[in-house]
């Protein structure tokens, strides 16, 4: 699975976003270590706080199907109905969810404007010194 293919999934998932309040559509493509891809979109709510980000939608879909090991996520976001004009970085809550399941030094976070224009970070770069499962182990 190439970075381009994972970005294509994120861009495809943007079209599924439910964003009547922000008008900001985000899509994510999450790659498991054994090569499966789970897509996610953001899903908003009239009460606002129940809103789920695209990244967490992808993680929760995957984990609920039994997946536990991930190698990368591609994220694309911007005004609904338009191509992304900027990079969309994951929010702090989504970074925390990534930290629960992913190795900080090897998990790759791909921020994409298009299949050709993207940046790649490790989770460690985006979420240094986080609180994770290892903090609760003796
Ligand atoms: N959002 C995401 O889905 N992922 C991000 O990385 C940033 C923010 C969503 C939440 C909300 O539906 C909209 O974008 C505006 O914040």
How do residues 57-113 score in pLDDT, each as one tens digit? Answer: 999 999 999 999 999 999 999 999 999 999 999 999 999 999 999 999 999 999 999
27 in Cβ contact with 39 (< 8 Å): yes
The preferred substitution site among 11, 16, 17, 42 for testing ligand 1, maximizing ligand atoms within 8 Å of CB, is 42
Counting atoms of ligand 1 from 1, which one is nearest the CA of 57? 3
| Number of other CB atoms surrounding residue 127 within 10 Å | 22
111 lines ligand 1 (CB under 6 A): no
93 lines ligand 1 (CB under 6 A): no
How do residues 16-40 score in pLDDT, each as one tens digit? Answer: 999 999 999 999 999 999 999 999 9
**Tokens standing for residue 122:** 């490790």
At residue 72, the 3 state secondary structure works out as strand
**Tokens standing for residue 9:** 């999934």
Cα distance between residue 91 and residue 127, in whole Å: 10
């Amino acid at each position: 699975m190439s970075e381009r293919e994972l970005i294509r999934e994120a861009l495809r998932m943007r079209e599924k976003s439910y964003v009547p309040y922000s008008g900001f559509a985000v899509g994510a493509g999450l790659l498991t270590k054994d090569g499966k891809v789970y897509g996610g979109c953001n899903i908003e709510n009239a009460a606002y706080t129940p809103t789920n980000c695209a990244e967490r939608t992808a993680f929760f879909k995957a984990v609920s199907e039994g997946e536990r090991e991930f190698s990368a996520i591609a994220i694309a976001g911007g005004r609904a109905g338009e191509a992304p004009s900027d990079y969309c970085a994951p929010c702090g809550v989504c970074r925390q969810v990534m930290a629960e399941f992913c190795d900080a030094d090897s998990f790759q976070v791909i921020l994409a404007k298009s299949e050709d224009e993207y940046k790649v970070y490790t989770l460690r770069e985006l979420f240094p010194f986080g609180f994770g499962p290892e903090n609760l182990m003796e």
